[in-house]
Amino acid sequence: MRPARALIDLDALRHNYRLAREVSGARALAVVKADAYGHGAVRCAQALEAEADGFAVACIEEALELREAGIRAPILLLEGFFEERELELIDAQDLWCVVHSAWQLDAVERARPRNPLTVWLKMDSGMHRVGFFPQEYRAAYERLQACPHVTKVVLMSHFARADELDCARTAEQVAAFESVRAGLGNEVSLRNSPGILGWPNVPSDWVRPGIMLYGATPFEQAHPLADQLRPVMTLQSKIISVRELPAGEPVGYGARFVAGRPVRVGVVAMGYADGYPRHAPDGTPVFIDGKPGRIIGRVSMDMLTVDLTDLPAAGLGSRVELWGANVPASQLAALCGSIPYQLFCNLKRVPRVY
């Protein structure tokens, strides 16, 4: 059996969820969209269900997967419905629904659900992706209030730059939101992971932690709260071949790496078809039998190569950590011009072990 594995630490997931709740003092919807950022939505939701205030997903397909697995907790559809007829299932499956567009609002007004509907009304406070502009928001809110079948409206918005801790944009978005919701007694929800960890004074009845649940920092620099997160995923594999090469010999496609001295090369069963980033440069950190090592040569589809020259005890069968506690996914992502979100979501083919 190919030794590539993604080990998922569900205790770490619970630890990170509790941290989100603790530092925000709010109720928290665990964001498990995109198969829980590659960690397995059903298993992650099951691990959190006893304590989670609810879950959030991107679409009804993801919500149904959780319901079919027996998850009874509230589930919010972060983009609401994509077609009006989904409202029937939203009603039948007791889902919460974002409304971010005029056509969705029209559809909610027309709906005649059997059960009371909970709507999260989204404001575009400056992200400029979806949501009602501040000047349209109050009218949209009044229309929902006038629907007898809409029994609860949560006021929400989303930050574009909360990961930039010295950027004024987040405060501007909060101000835009606050100016419109002033006087409304409804619950509010603004903060994603960087908002939770980096912006403590934003009003919050609900927070929406995603990446922090999985233990990756959303920030480029060290941060005292983000440093308390525990990585949930360890991506690991083993060395399946070893060879020694004299100085001057190239390694791998395109001869990107050329040995400047005699090298011992280890081949690891992990490649970009597993979701490991192909753009990892020479020198990218890995951990080999618990010791720091580095990638040399281009990452191929199913294999990558590491330098074993200074690790004489390592060899065939040595365990290699590609990311995890010793190689933070955010550090690797930064080296590859990416973000930990994308590394996690790209994971495929690798069996997950819980």
The annotation places the binding site for substrate at: 129, 301
Distance in Å, CB of 192 to ligand PLP, minimum: 3
Min dist CB 113 to ligand PLP, Å, is 23
Give the residue from 74, 73, 82 showing the smallest Cα distance to 100: 82
3-state SS class at 327: coil
CB 125 within 8 A of CB 157: yes
Determine which residue in the list 5, 39, 100, 158 makes contact with ligand PLP, applying CB under 6 A.
Answer: 158
Axis-axis angle for helices 41-48, 10-24 (nearest 10): 60
**Torsion-angle region of 275 (φ positive above 0: left; ψ -120 to 50: alpha; else: beta):** left
| Closer CB to ligand PLP, 25 or 283, in the complex | 25
Single residue of 21, 100, 208, 298 touching ligand PLP by CB under 6 A: 208
Catalytic residue from among 33, 122, 137, 214: 33
CB atoms within 10 A of CB 94: 16
Q: Which is nearer to ligand PLP, 57 or 251 (CB)?
A: 57
Least gap, CB of 90 to ligand PLP (angstroms):
17
Q: Which of 37, 238, 253, 291 is catalytic?
A: 253
- Applying CB under 6 A, which part among 203-211, 275-283, 311-319, 324-332 lies near ligand PLP? 203-211
- Of 300 and 342, the one with the shorter C-beta distance to ligand PLP is 342
Q: List the x/- string, 174-193, binding to ligand PLP by CB under 6 A.
A: ------------------xx
- Least distance CB 191 / ligand PLP (angstroms): 8
Own/partner contacts of 128-132, CB < 8 Å, gap of 24 or more, are 128/160, 129/158, 130/79, 130/100, 130/101, 131/100, 131/157, 131/158, 132/100, 132/102
Q: How far is the CB of 246 from ligand PLP (least distance, A)?
A: 47
In sequence order, what DSSP letters do the residues of 223-280 get, joined into one string?
-TTGGG----EEEEEEEEEEEEE-TT-EESGGG-EE-SS-EEEEEES--GGGT--TTP
Q: Tell me the closest approach of the beta carbon of residue 283 to ligand PLP, in angstroms.
A: 28
Query: Which one, 193 or 234, has the nearer CB to ligand PLP?
Result: 193
Residue with tokens 């006038």: 146
- Whether 122 is catalytic: no
In terms of CB distance, is 35 or 321 closer to ligand PLP? Answer: 35
Nearest Cα to Cα of residue 117 among 82, 83, 77 = 77
Total residues contacting ligand PLP by CB under 6 A comes to: 12
Question: Which of 106, 107, 139, 100 has the alpha carbon at shortest distance from 121?
Answer: 100
Among 38, 209, 231, 293, binds ligand PLP (CB under 6 A): 209
Q: Which residue sits closest to ligand PLP, CB atoms considered?
A: 210
Residue placing its CB nearer to ligand PLP in the complex, 211 or 259: 211
Rounded CA gap, 129 and 253, in Å? 40
211 part of the interface to ligand PLP, by CB under 6 A: yes
Q: Which helix (H) or strand (E) holds 18?
A: helix 10-24
* Residue given tokens 């009602």 in the structure block: 132
Q: Which residues from 31-70 bind ligand PLP, rule CB under 6 A? A: 31, 33
- The residues near 136 (Cβ < 8 Å, ≥ 6 apart) are none
Task: Please pick, from the candidates 40, 54, 210, 266, the single residue that binds ligand PLP as defined by CB under 6 A.
Answer: 210
Catalytic residues: 33, 253
Binding footprint of ligand PLP on the chain (CB under 6 A): 31, 33, 78, 158, 192-193, 208-212, 218
